[in-house]
């Protein structure tokens, strides 16, 4: 039986939670785990953090299983897609949408607005390209999901579109090696 680490990630994708997840993954590589089994539910968050986590997970030398145990939204879809195997619980959902930016009260020149717009457009393209490449789904199909207002898929719809291979409830074996990362 493969040496498996179960990683529960029920957090927003932010620098602190991303750093914790990267450290857990790095420790697993150094401890010679053969499989990482992620139980994930995330509302998304920081695009830079999400895309870098997805690239890291995709590059791992071991089997990686992503299991959506609730919702996988926004940039968390790229993290989820980076798993070599992708499963959704029966009531799981997947939300795809464009990218937004929070601005404090500010005064911006036209050129700065254009720069911000181009930056947001590029981030949206990067998410779509990442999800497409990791999940093996045609880029245009991912771009269609990321329309204005967004699209939320049920587990059944995600399976039909090839985003997940199976719908099943998670089962963690007795004496499993498990760690949890949350917003707390």
pLDDT along the chain (184 residues), means of 10: 94 97 98 98 96 98 97 97 98 91 77 87 92 96 86 97 97 96 92
Task: Report how far apart the first and last C-alpha atoms of the chain are (Å, whole number).
Answer: 33
Sequence-distant (6+) residues with CB within 8 A of 36 are: 4, 5, 7, 25, 28, 57, 60, 62, 63, 64, 65
3-state SS class at 35: strand
Determine the pLDDT at residue 73.
Answer: 96
Determine the pLDDT at residue 112.
Answer: 85
* Predicted structure pTM score: 0.93
Q: How many residues does the chain have?
A: 184
Domains in the chain with CATH codes: 4-182 (3.90.226.10)
């Amino acid at each position: 039986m493969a040496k498996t680490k179960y990683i529960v990630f029920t957090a927003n994708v932010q620098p602190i939670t991303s750093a914790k997840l990267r450290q857990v993954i790095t420790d697993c590589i150094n401890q010679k785990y053969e499989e990482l089994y992620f139980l994930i539910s995330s509302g998304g968050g920081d695009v830079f953090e999400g895309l870098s986590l997805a690239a890291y997970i995709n590059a791992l030398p071991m089997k990686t299983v992503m299991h959506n145990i609730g919702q996988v939204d926004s940039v968390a879809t790229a993290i989820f897609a980076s798993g070599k195997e992708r499963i959704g619980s029966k009531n799981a959902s997947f939300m795809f949408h464009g990218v937004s930016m929070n601005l404090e009260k500010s005064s911006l020149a036209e050129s700065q607005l254009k720069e911000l717009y181009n930056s947001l457009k590029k981030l949206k393209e990067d998410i779509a390209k990442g999800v497409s490449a990791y999940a093996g789904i045609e880029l245009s199909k991912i771009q269609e999901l990321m329309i204005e207002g967004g699209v939320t898929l049920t587990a059944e719809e995600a399976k039909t579109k090839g985003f997940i291979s199976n719908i099943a409830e998670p089962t963690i074996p007795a004496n499993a090696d498990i760690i949890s990362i949350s917003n707390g």
